[in-house]
Chains A and B, each alone.
Chain A
């Protein structure tokens, strides 16, 4: 008996939708085993992870606001990943976006007006872009590996933010604790839905996903990006300028990360603090690939990741599931999703030796 793997000419559409369900089923099974081994009520744990977050409006809102930055950043990264540009430093670009928009907020702290918030958004996007421009420049000009530069700059960004909030930007009335003043009302996002924390970032993420879909599927630039990723040599041959794609990828992903950072500080945080993000920039990398680098897929995968975080906390509260077990469970879910993706893209032929017989 021989097993042969054949790539499908086009991914099987029904399977593309069916495999995530299969993965979910496998994860539930594995979860039962894991939770029982830990002596936790498995049924209850799974209920709190997957069902409870949908039971109340406020909880749905929590999933949405957790997903919004992941989706935004994930989409930006996906554009780069499609073109084989490896921006691993969205975390740092998010931080710089927060620094830039927070800087505007603090500079105009005594002012009010509808113009302040748009200015913050602009500053945030430019801040993220500026931070992303460093690896883009070094890559385009000196061919310096962007994995290294973007990752290292993430640490620098965190320390830079820390320098500011421990120093010149700390709240004068804040007992010398490392945090800025709370932004004023013109500088913070209002809540869109009563009883939830849903803010403008949620619709923004959806709009960005749709725009990205149009860019990637319907424009020449989108075509260039896809070709550069799939066949770099062909792309060069066709005269697509590689450096242009490097710049485009970094500026788009940096800008979106900066926007996400802006919405975090202007939204649920409301001030600058030493740490803006619980790893959104890194989690978004998984989100991007889990969504198969497709804007709509990323929308779904972002929601799923957010769900596991919110649900994991619920399970910790309700049945005492340790944080470490949630992490393992997330890992398993991702493994199954990534593994079953295989079925949609490849065909497994089990060729019995029988045919060799006369």
Chain B
């Protein structure tokens, strides 16, 4: 009882609150007190895209750790000053581990991390870190290469459509990975890109898909959040890929597969690390190997032989035998940028702002 009173007083200082979490020895003694894990989302959890995916990761954490953790999320947090306030509020409220799940939260996470050295922060898709702030991201391009390969094999017209959001390196990288893989099996393949300048505008995404299909595209891929482009593919009788989650229910015939963003393994590992007192800052870029990406079950339209090839590509990516950005890679002008046999470094990939041959963007 006495301890409780003390603890309450203890809780009143914001900085003191957070000290709870790191000292894992103290943690163990206080088994009754769950670790509070905060998530900051850029969209609503009902977006069925990016934020929805992260929220599935959060739910997996709850399921895995039961009453050892308590998770909190704040959705639709605008990037900028609002984000900083929310992140700080989470830290002040005794969250020991905070995931900030949008690139635009990077500077804000960093600022709050400096103020709360005892709270652990994990920022998605950025590049800055601090002693108590890690960066994490997924190698979506590994999956994009699989899409490119399947698309290159199945396209009749040689045109693969790409409904894209905004030209950040991650999106550019995905477009390039698709094009390189497609041209390996179909040398004249091209990737046609339409930018909708939004991560989320279902009707416009659908219009962009129509614009592509009407100009001869017969394989649809996308890097925007909603199932709209795939839905159009289904309605028009062409094939395509889901985005971020399995979208088969929207396109039972058209969906060839989808790259599933699986954040759960990372979230579970990092929560475990905090619980064990082993959390250290790191910068991770995880892919098929770590289970951060999974291909959705092959659609009926993928022939058995192609399934084997794609499965083998995934296996080779995991073993390190295959890398999506292996030379020769030419730019749009046809100049060789990466020599035959060379692999692009992670550093070059992470700031990619040029397109490879075969991309029409």
Contact = CB atoms under 8 A, between A and B. Distances in A.
Interface of A: 56, 58-59, 62, 65-66, 159, 162, 166, 175-179, 182, 197, 264, 267-271, 273-276, 278, 309-310, 313-314, 316-318, 320, 322-324
Contact of A276 (B80, B89, B350): B80
B34 interface: no
Interface of B: 14, 38, 44, 72-82, 84-86, 88-90, 93, 103-104, 107, 126-127, 166-169, 197, 350-353
Contact of A275 (B78, B84, B167): B78
A273 B79 contact: yes
B76 A323 contact: yes
A176 B93 contact: no
Given A273-B104, A278-B80, A317-B38, A175 B351 contact: yes
Contact of B167 (A166, A175, A316, A322): A166
Contact of A268 (B81, B90, B166): B81
Contact of B169 (A176, A278, A309): A176
Most B C-beta atoms less than 10 A away, residue of A56, A314, A316, A317: A317
Given A166-B166, A176-B169, A275-B78, A62 B85 contact: yes
26 contacts: A58-B88, A62-B85, A159-B197, A175-B351, A176-B168, A176-B351, A176-B353, A177-B103, A177-B169, A197-B81, A268-B84, A269-B81, A274-B104, A274-B166, A275-B79, A278-B82, A313-B82, A313-B85, A313-B89, A314-B89, A317-B74, A317-B86, A317-B93, A323-B44, A323-B74, A323-B75
Given A166-B167, A310-B85, A268 B80 contact: yes
Contacts of A179: 104
A163 B182 CA distance: 30
B166 A178 contact: yes
Given A162-B197, A273-B79, A317 B89 contact: yes
A175 B350 contact: yes
Contacts of B197: 159, 162
Shortest beta-carbon contacts, A-B, top 6:
A278-B78, A268-B81, A175-B351, A176-B353, A176-B351, A323-B75
A320 B126 CA distance: 27
Contacts of A56: 14
Contacts of B80: 264, 268-269, 273, 275-276, 278
Contacts, number: 85
B19 to A, nearest CB: 18
A115 B81 CA distance: 26
A206 B159 CA distance: 59
A58 B76 CA distance: 22
Nearest to B167: A166
A273 B81 CA distance: 12
Contacts of A269: 80-81
B339 to A, nearest CB: 22
Given A178-B166, A197-B85, A317-B90, 16 more contacts: A56-B14, A65-B81, A66-B82, A162-B166, A176-B169, A177-B127, A268-B81, A270-B107, A271-B107, A273-B79, A274-B166, A278-B80, A313-B77, A313-B86, A316-B72, A322-B75
A62 B85 CA distance: 7
B94 to A, nearest CB: 10
A303 to B, nearest CB: 16
Nearest to A65: B81
B61 to A, nearest CB: 15
B244 to A, nearest CB: 20
Contacts of B107: 182, 270-271
A312 to B, nearest CB: 10
A70 B352 CA distance: 38
Nearest to A316: B74
A324 B45 CA distance: 10
Contacts of A177: 103, 126-127, 168-169
B351 A316 contact: no
A133 B45 CA distance: 40
Nearest to A178: B168
Contacts of B353: 176
A56 B81 CA distance: 18
A324 B126 CA distance: 28
A324 B44 contact: yes
Contacts of A273: 79-80, 104
B123 to A, nearest CB: 13
A270 B84 CA distance: 12
Nearest to A270: B107
A264 B72 contact: no
A166 B168 CA distance: 8
B166 A264 contact: no
B75 A316 contact: yes
A36 B90 CA distance: 24
A276 B81 CA distance: 9
A276 B78 CA distance: 9
Contacts of B77: 313
Nearest to A170: B353
Nearest to A318: B93
Contacts of A274: 104, 166
B243 to A, nearest CB: 20
Contacts of B76: 323
A264 B103 CA distance: 19
A40 B119 CA distance: 28
Nearest to A310: B85
B168 to A, nearest CB: 6
